[in-house]
Structure 1
């Protein structure tokens, strides 16, 4: 019966493969590659918008079930319990169902583009949606955007892999998925487009820009269909932009630049601390869970993504409206403590976010950056007006400016910050102050940090693709593809006569000398022993250990293409050995192969 079942499954698999092959064959005959990519970009837009809707619906349902009946005038002790339960459930889901690391969604997309040729795993199409819904629904202080970007990118990657598309097209479909995710979750098609350009750092041509735009507008339209046409925030322009507010906007940009620097540095420090507990999952859950739940207990605004708290500042017009942000905390009813509460929430959000992810939750830093920026903008404007530091500045407008500024600085994406806030609120008349504040914040943080919060991890490892063509080409080169693993090895105690026979079988001018464990001891350079290999009377006199020399340099499989190129330039060698993690010989890389591959990738990138 088992054999029959196995045979049945194999037949079904073969039948499915045969059907797919027929579809691919029909597509190849009737639909051009460019047309097919446009069609796939449309499908990616639909699926990404649907995934975004499902994720937000799940979060909303869980939060409604858990906290809808909480008191708004006093603290709620269940805030000490729910976040820990949510992170624990997420950890179990990832460990026993997903069985893979799905944290840092946008960073994983960047990593896939930079090193894996845009091949994301199939489970990324759904695993992040479920994991982040549990984490955020139970109170995890992270964002849903990074998981959705990973989901959308994985959908694009998976469709490309199913139809056996090349790496360049796969990268384009990953960009379509990321664009559609942002456009769908925020109903912001322009922000989705510039997000891909700025954050994912894909070099776009006119041929690749069209699919990106199709995915973006498709996702936005379907989000309108799912949730209605109204923007995320009900913002009405009550205070018209005036030139005398420029100094305040510039100062806010500088303030948000330093606030963003604080966010990135503290986030990195906390990640490092939780990383040391990686081998002790329950200790990590205990430390992170207690830190998160305690912060949420004192500051309920930290519960979940935080968009409801931002809505208080953006849609509210009076102090009474703004005071509602303190509901459910020990600060409730004390309007004189509003500024203190906002400042403390602004500074502790980064600890809540890092504790959520550090304890084992799943979520991103997209929403936290908007949250910190919004609270920072309100704090700045409220402080400015309370102490009469200049002309009156509207608090809700500056809440939006702060959101754009921190996003521009943390992500190193000023255009994304500008267009996202404009599309989130319909406040297109705020373009001038949004541009000023985004530039000010970006220039401030760029003095201290060269990379975005998503790219900084990869940049430190030399795995980040950029707009710099030469660096991008080196990043796209896969070292494993360059290694020639077909070599003839000899041992150090072998006589020269046996060495000559080995040379006759070798295809290269270098013969590696290995010990019994496969470790590289040296190499035989045929060009250096030509004066003796034809003297048969010496065949029993010399051994390999007497003829071998040290290689000019040694490469490791963990090296990137940039370091390999530098090693060849520094040594002038034509061939270098590559060692694996155990220092055993893996193969050889030749200079001609490296430079030939480099030229081919440059040619591919130059094609429209």
Structure 2
């Protein structure tokens, strides 16, 4: 039986690999690929939202209706027990299977997009769905937007990874997943698309906008089929009573900005507070649940006896929007909801901050509205209008996402009467909150990790390099039983300042430095002593191969140490390498190289879309101003790429570090309109000539016939001559920029540049 299952698994894996290779070998039009993948992600995100909402509703019904009825005999203490049990369940799930599911989730998606090319572990979505559903269902004061954004993003990332799409396309699918999730869970497709652009990608770009809109619409349509077209809130049709009322809304914006920034700061302060508690990490959500339950005992209750600060709280927001709650009640609920959210998220439970932000914003706005109605009865609208505007103002102040705040309130309420005060208050709140704090509630979490995202997403290149990429794997170490005399000789011989102390099983047991040895020498003779007598074995600073390099550098700087042992994984003591200070230079060089490769790839993809483009061939004259300069220092026109450089009989590929010399012959691919600017940048007019064939080098287009041995093979598997370059592949109406993994097909027109003899050899390889 086991053998049969193994054969089935083997066949499935083989068929999957063939499918991936077949799909990669086909040249799909860019528009078809974008529409197809974004549609798949949108449908998946919509189904994910439906499943997630069902999980939340089922968990709430089971805990507060079914289990709650069993616990009636101990009421109201069941309100303490239920959230605590929820924490006992979610804690182990999060810390065992996916720690990225901890907290509100959106920063983790932003980090994946910015630093990991959109790669998110597939299990994150599943763990986030289960943990957040249990958390909300057992009373956790969190929302659905963070979980569903992370669930949808994980789906988009998984599809990108399964089909081995480029990083740029994978990041687009991550944004599509987030847009689809938000659109489906809140019935807000426009806001979902804007959220993905404004928050996840951190930029509004027409290249991505079409894809995220398709996903948002598809997800919302799927959700309509199962959930219906229900609005989150039903409210009266408020309107602005007087233009002077805008001044009151401006004052509300100021209050919302200060309170929302305070909420962001206090939230992470609560995380730090829980971090300091000396207990197992997986138990802390249960502690948070206990505190939440105790808070629920003294909180206002719904008609069903459930504390109003439990769960998402939409059933409490509605009466505030109708102006049915007293000012002191709304103000107290604001404070209670703040504490409830701190207990839930600060302790490490799972859920979003969207719903708590709307709740607190509505309570804040309702309290303010009651005051304005009493002081300015002739110009102020009802308190419900201020509650509605306060929701958007508080959310935008916390997230720095005014467009999302405005649109999602429109779509969730279907009320457009307060457009002017809503826009003014939201934008003003965002503006003031940015002055108070450059970080939103999302980016603050990343900043605390040392990750800085600018408005252009041009982040520090070091943040994209992991320890394993630059660590030293061949390292010296010592053992506990080594004599100090031998250790002294080792320091003198190798001129190093420290060594890891390793056991026979290659486990790290300590660190010993030359300072330790000097101190031992000052206290007495070294004779008869061993490394175990002076080595540091407690409180060791270590790092792990999958950690970003900036974390290792931070530890080295904070503790003023010159090296960090690299352990196999968290929880293991097996040492696999060392990071030293000189590795910093290697890390930076590696990061710059990665960034340059990405930029080169982007420019290459742009070239594939040019219509009026061709090759030009030019010589660098003796009086050229570019002689002695690196290619990276030369400002060439856009849509222009140096394909190759010939120096004597040597043909070489050009990179940014290539230094140009007199007599170099460059082959450039450029638009016709750029030729004159290329001439001005590099050579005199007399040296420029169209590339129509030269005595030694030329380009040739070779059509692959049916039955050729090259059909179905990757370019890297074909032994092309060293002095030849595959420039492009014409496949139907598409132009493909070739790389090592490109698979050749029948009727492909392969454009090759090289020497006469090499082109003959290349033609035999392609057509033979």
TM-score range, shorter chain: 0.7 to 0.9
Q: Residue 503 of structure 1 corresponds to which residue in structure 2?
A: none
How is 1:100-119 mapped onto 2 (pairs within 5 angstroms)?
100-104=99-103, 105-119=105-119
Secondary structure of 2:417's counterpart equals helix
Secondary structure of 1:190's counterpart equals helix
Please give the TM-score of this superposition, normalised by the length of structure 1: 0.77
Secondary structure of 1:584's counterpart equals strand
> 1:302-351 CA distances to partner (integer Å, 9 max, x unpaired)?
0210011112223x36xxxx25xxxxxxxxxxxxxx32121111012121
Q: What displacement does 1:472 show?
A: 2.8
Distance change (3 Å), C-alpha of 1:39 and 1:492: farther
Q: Residue 361 of structure 1 corresponds to which residue in structure 2?
A: 349
Residue 56 in structure 1 maps to residue 56 in structure 2: no
How is 1:591-606 mapped onto 2 (pairs within 5 angstroms)?
593-604=590-601
Q: Which moved more, 1:261-270 or 1:282-291?
A: 282-291
Asked if the contact 2:88–2:283 (Cα under 8 Å) also holds between the matched residues in 1, the reply is no
Q: Residue 79 of structure 1 corresponds to which residue in structure 2?
A: 79
Q: Residue 411 of structure 1 corresponds to which residue in structure 2?
A: 399
> Matches of 1:89 and 1:301 in 2, distance apart?
23
> Matches of 1:562 and 1:514 in 2, distance apart?
17
Q: Residue 330 of structure 1 corresponds to which residue in structure 2?
A: none
> Matches of 2:282 and 2:45 in 1, distance apart?
34
Q: Residue 40 of structure 1 corresponds to which residue in structure 2?
A: 37
More strand by share: 2
How is 1:388-403 mapped onto 2 (pairs within 5 angstroms)?
388=376, 391-403=379-391
How is 1:377-526 mapped onto 2 (pairs within 5 angstroms)?
377-388=365-376, 391-468=379-456, 471-472=458-459, 474=461, 477-480=464-467, 483=470
> 1:531-564 CA distances to partner (integer Å, 9 max, x unpaired)?
xxxxxxxxxxxxxxxxxxxxxxxx9975439989
Q: Residue 254 of structure 2 corresponds to which residue in structure 1?
A: 254
Unaligned runs of 5+ in 1: 324-337, 500-510, 523-554, 568-576
> 1:432-469 CA distances to partner (integer Å, 9 max, x unpaired)?
21110112211222222111111112113332433335
How is 1:194-593 mapped onto 2 (pairs within 5 angstroms)?
194-203=194-203, 205-240=205-240, 242-277=242-277, 279-280=279-280, 284=284, 287-299=287-299, 300-314=307-321, 316=322, 322-323=324-325, 338-388=326-376, 391-468=379-456, 471-472=458-459, 474=461, 477-480=464-467, 483=470, 559-560=549-550, 579-581=564-566, 584-585=578-579, 588=583, 589-590=585-586, 593=590
Q: Which moved more, 1:475-484 or 1:403-412?
A: 475-484
> Matches of 2:94 and 2:473 in 1, distance apart?
40
Q: Residue 508 of structure 1 corresponds to which residue in structure 2?
A: none
Q: Residue 141 of structure 1 corresponds to which residue in structure 2?
A: 141
Quote the RMSD (CA, aligned, Å). Answer: 3.6
Q: Residue 533 of structure 1 corresponds to which residue in structure 2?
A: none
Q: Residue 525 of structure 1 corresponds to which residue in structure 2?
A: none
> Matches of 2:491 and 2:86 in 1, distance apart?
67
> Matches of 1:150 and 1:592 in 2, distance apart?
33
Q: Residue 13 of structure 2 corresponds to which residue in structure 1?
A: 17
Asked if the contact 1:76–1:297 (Cα under 8 Å) also holds between the matched residues in 2, the reply is yes
Asked if the contact 1:475–1:562 (Cα under 8 Å) also holds between the matched residues in 2, the reply is no
> Matches of 1:229 and 1:594 in 2, distance apart?
48
Distance change (3 Å), C-alpha of 1:163 and 1:473: farther
> Matches of 2:475 and 2:127 in 1, distance apart?
46
Q: What displacement does 1:59 show?
A: 2.0
Aligned residues: 525
Secondary structure of 1:560's counterpart equals helix
Q: What displacement does 1:153 show?
A: 0.5
Q: What displacement does 1:360 show?
A: 4.8
> Matches of 1:359 and 1:352 in 2, distance apart?
11
Bigger radius of gyration, 1 or 2? 2
Unaligned runs of 5+ in 2: 70-74, 300-306, 478-486, 503-510, 515-542, 568-576, 607-768
Q: What displacement does 1:380 show?
A: 0.7
Q: What displacement does 1:109 show?
A: 1.1
> Matches of 2:475 and 2:133 in 1, distance apart?
55
More helix by share: 1
Higher relative contact order (CA 8 A, sep 6+): 1
Q: What displacement does 1:403 show?
A: 0.7
Secondary structure of 1:231's counterpart equals coil
Q: What displacement does 1:205 show?
A: 4.0
Q: What displacement does 1:365 show?
A: 1.1
